[in-house]
Structure 1
Amino acid sequence: MSSTWAVAAVTAALRNLLQAQVPARDPVLSDLTVTTRTPDVARKSVSGSSLNVFLYGTAVSAAWRNQDPTSARPGEQATPPLALDLHYLVTAYGRDDADQDAVSHRVHAAAMAVLHDHPVLSPDELILGGDLADNGLAGQVERLRISPLPLSLDDLSKLWTGFATNLRVSAAYEVTVVLIDSTVPGSAALPVLARGAQDQGAQTILGAAAVLTALLPPVPQPAAVQGQVVSVTGSNLTTVDTVLRFTSLWQPVPPAVQLAPVELVPLAGPVPGQLLVTPPDRTADPKAWGTWVPGFYTAAAVTRTAGLPAMVSNAVALALAPAITLSPHAPATVSSGGTLTLTCSPRIGDGQRVSILCGNQQVRPATLTNPAPADPNYDSTPTTLTFTVPAMAAGTYPVRLRVDGVDSMPVTFAGAVPAFDPAQQVVVS
């Protein structure tokens, strides 16, 4: 396991290599000193010929960055090692600043010849003493390769300008790749003892899943009403082992009081690719009626086959309108500024946005009352609201209730043509 000492160990190994090999190659350079300082102080307190090995940059290895960790088996997770390419500048110096005998050129050539003949650092050369003893490079899976790194005159000029010293004869090298192992622990899944329930293996379901396109009320109106048949259109629709799941988009207050999805068994429609479903009203099924609130829903077809996972279709939108009753009925008569009472079915949930439209004017309810859950008639009792009739000219006006953006239906389709329902009108005197 390579440690954070790995970079320093590579620098020390390069220094040791040059210190041992350059004088052996050229006896004139027997007094050679190899340093690892910054170029601006490389010659301080150094006499005779010298080489300076300076690490001027590091780069993350693009090839190793995307490799799977060598410590992880297929299916396991682990953090890959930090893979670094090290960039060194090797600078040659003569015996004095005048360097009349061009010794620096001999140092430079000898150093390049050594690195040319020694392109790989062996594991033995990476075993060092002192603080660098535990660098771990000798055991890494990738060998350390030394390659010339061509630099243009412009690149060299920029480097030496940054060093704030005069340019000297030098060569750049890349040492790749240094792998510093991550300390983040990996994870390995336990062996698989069974595939599927009772080791039955993977479940395969033939045939396409149901796809819904729309939920349509029985008449051309923007929302459905409880007790009315809703047509479900789509493809691959069936009534076998299938229910329609309705999920309210209402965000209750407090959030812990979440409305559970409602599932209804559909009937086959009159044409292929069509199902029929009826949200229950208060008279047909009071308990099921109480599980709904006015507002927007998503609907999806859920097919459950014994021993197989459920197949769920895409979801489509459905608006469920509140149904209201005014008191007194047909039509209610009240003076401008008077109070009118109405009931709403299904019950309004806590936190839903509620307003009343009287004619073309919108008002807030004065009171909104739901029965207590302990009430013996809770399952069949709607929400009761009162509101103050706004100032308006005498006449007959339709009344609508808006809950979470969905309006009640003030129209009746009993006659030859649609008409406003007298039971949902108020006469202002």
Structure 2
Amino acid sequence: MSNPDAIAAVTATLQSILFQGLKDDFSGIDVTMRPLDKARQDNETNNRVNLFLYQVVRSAAWVNADMPRQVLPGEIGNPPLPLNLFYLVTAYGKDNDVAAPSGHELLGAAMSLLHDHPILGAEEIRLATQGPFPDSDLDRQIESVRITYHPISLDELSKLWTGFATPYRLSAAYEADVVLIESKRPTRSSLPVLTRGPDDSGVTAQGDLSSPLPTLEAVTPPKKQPSARLNEELVVTGLHLDGTSVQIRFDHPLLATPILLAPSAGGTATELKVTIPNQPANWPAGYYNVSALVTRTGETFERTTNELPLALAPSATLAVSGNAPGVVILTATCAPEIWPGQRASLLVGSNEIVADPHPAQTDTLTFKIDKAVAGTFRYRLRVAGVDSLFVDRSVTPPVFDETQKVVIT
């Protein structure tokens, strides 16, 4: 595996290959690695090949791959940074090709050398980098670096030279694939598994698609209601809900810790019943996440089921102060208590009235109607998006709750 010096090591190796292969046939040859606008100065007339790294891209083939022989099955490795390097090879002939097209001859020789070196050998890399980059580890990389000709259009070449504001020179592009730079994050490796279960019995198989683990399928309020109220019984249905210890957990955003309740006696593996206690100060209205905690027979640890939503509805009785058409104050006695930050409103007929501020937890809310209209109106209290239950759905057809009316005179 390579380290961040590997990019420079590839460039240095290519420079060495070109120089060693060209020095005997071209007098005064040098191989530079300058940007395009610095590759040839006005006072320079010798033979030169310029090797310019113009682009670095991530290799799609290695982007999520663990390194072979470094990450064993079951371990969580960190993939290396895989890079493809793109070089532009430009030749400058002696005396700037005034007497003969020496640059063309030089470019052909350079391309022939790279054609004959499709893979950077480990010894070539060590010899080229032993001075400037001795610790790049590129020579020990598990995947060899391959050098291939990279077809590039005249338009792309022109953009490269134009970007450096320098006249175009005949060039050839090459790709070096791939450089694997090792991640510095540690690999995670778990301890081996000694047994597959109690008494090394292995996994448990069953002949259907139902979950083998404790699972909730429904949390049902009584009387076909969409939500539950304090002191009402819920029916919790699911799979594998039996065990030596079973609890129902209720989680609400306002609660510091979830509430745990023991189900009623007589529960089965598929059905439990639990009653929400009549504790208005401890159970804020709104939406809860309900799950079951089950310790199964023969196990010493607790399993947690999936979560299902449950709406806990408020209830309210109203007292009226004032007369229409003036200001009327409606005072609601609520259960559960309303917590600070909970939005509470009263829907009287088709009009919504927001409660006066309640900075502390309270069971009393006031609602002000500036221009009241006389009449008898059905009302419902809405807290945290959950309405009080004002429709009796246990009969067919459903009927309104006649107790939730307010008379304004």
2:78 is the counterpart of 1:74: no
Asked if structure 2 preserves the Cα contact closer than 8 Å seen for 1:302 and 1:313, the reply is yes
Query: Which of 306, 310, 313 pairs up with 1:321?
Result: 313
Distance change (3 Å), C-alpha of 1:265 and 1:163: same
Distance change (3 Å), C-alpha of 1:69 and 1:96: same
Percent sequence identity is: 36
Distance 1:148 1:7 in 2: 18
Query: Which of 241, 244, 248 pairs up with 1:245?
Result: 248
2:39 is the counterpart of 1:42: yes
Partner of 2:222: 217
Distance 1:414 1:86 in 2: 73
2:384 is the counterpart of 1:404: yes
Range moving further from structure 2, 34-43 or 131-140? 34-43
Distance change (3 Å), C-alpha of 1:248 and 1:205: farther
- Residue 68 (structure 1) shift: 0.8
Partner of 2:109: 110
Distance change (3 Å), C-alpha of 1:104 and 1:80: same
Partner of 2:150: 149
Distance 1:247 1:408 in 2: 20
Q: Let me know the Cα RMSD of the aligned residues.
A: 4.7
2:119 is the counterpart of 1:120: yes
Asked if structure 1 preserves the Cα contact closer than 8 Å seen for 2:90 and 2:107, the reply is yes
Higher Cα Rg, which structure: 1
- Residue 79 (structure 1) shift: 3.3
Q: Figure out how many residues of one structure are paired with residues of the other and give that number.
A: 393
Map 1:335-374 to 2 at 5 A: 336=323, 344-349=334-339, 351-355=341-345, 362=353, 364=355
- Encode CA deviations 1:320-340: one digit per residue, 9 max, x unaligned: 3345567xxxxx897648988
Tell me, which stretches of 5 or more residues in structure 2 are unaligned? none
Q: What TM-score does the superposition give when structure 2 sets the normalisation length?
A: 0.72
2:84 is the counterpart of 1:85: yes
Give the aligned residue type for 2:29: L
Asked if structure 1 preserves the Cα contact closer than 8 Å seen for 2:229 and 2:313, the reply is yes
Asked if structure 2 preserves the Cα contact closer than 8 Å seen for 1:242 and 1:304, the reply is yes
Map 1:15-414 to 2 at 5 A: 15-24=15-24, 26=25, 29-44=26-41, 45-70=43-68, 71-126=70-125, 127=127, 128-182=129-183, 184-192=184-192, 204=204, 206=206, 208-209=210-211, 210=215, 212-213=217-218, 215-218=220-223, 221-230=225-234, 245=248, 247-249=250-252, 251-252=253-254, 257-265=256-264, 278-281=275-278, 291-300=282-291, 304-308=295-299, 315-324=307-316, 336=323, 344-349=334-339, 351-355=341-345, 362=353, 364=355, 385=364, 387=366, 401-409=381-389
- Encode CA deviations 1:398-419: one digit per residue, 9 max, x unaligned: 6755443444456899999967
Partner of 1:2: 2
Q: What TM-score does the superposition give when structure 1 sets the normalisation length?
A: 0.69
Asked if structure 2 preserves the Cα contact closer than 8 Å seen for 1:369 and 1:385, the reply is no
Give the aligned residue type for 1:189: S
- Residue 420 (structure 1) shift: 5.5
Give the aligned residue type for 2:5: W
Asked if structure 2 preserves the Cα contact closer than 8 Å seen for 1:401 and 1:407, the reply is yes
Asked if structure 1 preserves the Cα contact closer than 8 Å seen for 2:311 and 2:386, the reply is yes
Distance change (3 Å), C-alpha of 1:306 and 1:203: farther
Tell me, which stretches of 5 or more residues in structure 1 are unaligned? 282-287, 327-331, 371-382
Partner of 1:373: none
